[in-house]
Amino acid sequence: MNQQPDSQWQDPQREQFDYPPINEDHRRTTQRATYSRTSTWREIFMMGGWRLILALVLLVFIFVVWALLSDVQANDRVDAPADQVPALDTTPLPTMTPTAGAQLPQVRVSGTGTSGLFLRATASRGAEAVKTLPEGTVLEIIGEKTVDGAMSWLHVRDSAGAEGYVAESYTTPIE
């Protein structure tokens, strides 16, 4: 058996892909230089320190503006002596009390079957339903009649105090 050297069995193009061995210190030599105590402002600026400088300038600017504005607001306040401060008017506001003879007109829910009638937040079919009023519920009319498209709405209040709008076509007047 004739043995040939290993070099003959190797690919002739392999040598172009042989890379030099990795420098054991490659991580330290390929990373950016860090700041040191001996770095000049120019070196810091060139290494990206301009962002740091810009941030510091912005912080100083914000602090100065804040200080000036808070000083202006402090000067706007006037501390008047107690004898010159006007007294508050503490008279109670008038309240409306219904008279014995005056009673709000009332209507009764009718024509809804077992479904009931929606008490709505506003005079519209698309408005939120505040609650469902069962057939026969007595309501007080507390506002003007509102017409929305082809429907008439009554502004009413039920016995529990809930207020809203109901479709007039599902009510009958109580005399």
pLDDT digits (tens, 9 = 90+) for 55-112: 889 999 999 988 888 766 555 555 555 566 566 677 777 766 655 556 788 999 998 8
* Predicted TM-score (pTM) above 0.85: no
| Coil vs helix vs strand at 132 | strand
User: Does residue 8 register a pLDDT over 70?
Assistant: no
Strands 171-174 and 106-109, by their bridges, are: antiparallel
User: Does residue 12 register a pLDDT over 80?
Assistant: no
- Rounded distance between C-alpha atoms, residue 107 and residue 119, angstroms: 13
Phi and psi torsions of 63, nearest 5° = -65, -40
Question: What is the SS3 string spanning 138-169?
Answer: EEEECCCCEEECCEEEEEEECCCCCEEEEEHH
Give per-residue pLDDT as tens, 29-47. 555 556 566 667 677 666 6
Please, are residues 155 and 146 in contact by the beta-carbon 8 Å criterion? yes
Domain boundaries, the chain: 24-78, 106-174
Give per-residue pLDDT as tens, 17-30. 555 556 656 555 55
List, in sequence order, every residue forming a beta bridge with 153; answer none if it has no partner. 146, 167
Give per-residue pLDDT as tens, 102-150. 678 899 999 888 888 999 999 888 889 999 999 999 999 998 888 888 8
pLDDT at 167: 92
pLDDT at 157: 92
pLDDT at 55: 85
- Give the residue, 100 or 164, on which the prediction is more confident: 164
- Rounded distance between C-alpha atoms, residue 106 and residue 72, angstroms: 59
CATH number of 106-174: 2.30.30.40
Please, are residues 104 and 150 in contact by the beta-carbon 8 Å criterion? no
Cβ contacts of 153-158, under 8 Å, gap ≥ 24:
153/120, 153/123, 153/124, 154/107, 155/123, 156/107, 156/119, 158/119, 158/131, 158/133
